[in-house]
Structure 1
């Protein structure tokens, strides 16, 4: 049996991304970590790790893979993530009744914030 142990995000500045993702997800560093690789784990409860890897990587758009983050209060979470340094991403093909908001972290890695309230639309 296989399970997802970690999602790895390539980045240029591990420290900056560490600050963003630990606050965004309420994660904490998993020791040991070094200057080039920082595994993060949920502060409480189960969940996949998110690891930050300082490795050269060309950004492609649209990205081949992205995170979907589920939110009970999408508007509040989007605003909180913007205060942490994330930005909304405009996509002209996004349906008007979409339940997701496309965002990017401080280095441009894309993710979506999904409204999990039943019948909700963004």
Structure 2
């Protein structure tokens, strides 16, 4: 059986991206950390690792893959992420009753924040114990 062990994001500034993602997800850096690669793991509970790989890559929009982050307190988490340096992404096709918002980290890597209240049973999918 296979499981998702780590999701890899290409980054330009490894230190800045470590600072953003560890605070955004309450993850910690797994040591030893390399000069061009860092593995972030959940501080508590379970869930996939997030790997940050400092390798130049071309940004493609829309991205072929992105993270969906489930939020218990959707509006508060959106505001918290904005305070950490994330930005909202406007999309002309966003439904008026959307249960998600599109965001990007300080380097433009996109992710969605999903209102978990709209997804019964979400806690069984990788939530912390």
TM over 0.5: yes
Tell me which residue corresponds to 1:19: 19
Tell me which residue corresponds to 1:3: 3
Q: Give deviations 1:70-104, integer Å, cap 9, x for gaps.
A: 00111100000000000000000010011000000
SS state at 2:24 partner? helix
TM-score, normalised to structure 2, is: 0.90
Tell me which residue corresponds to 1:97: 97
Structure 2: state its 5+ residue gaps. Answer: 120-129
Structure 1 segments of 4+ aligned residues over 6 angstroms from their partners: none
Q: Counterparts of 2:30 and 2:109 in 1: how far apart (Å)?
A: 21
Q: Counterparts of 1:112 and 1:56 in 2: how far apart (Å)?
A: 23
Q: Quick check: 1:111 aligned with 2:111? A: yes
Tell me how large the CA RMSD over aligned residues is: 0.9
Is contact 2:99–2:118 with CA below 8 Å preserved after alignment?
A: no
Q: CA deviation at 1:14?
A: 0.3
Number of corresponding residues: 119
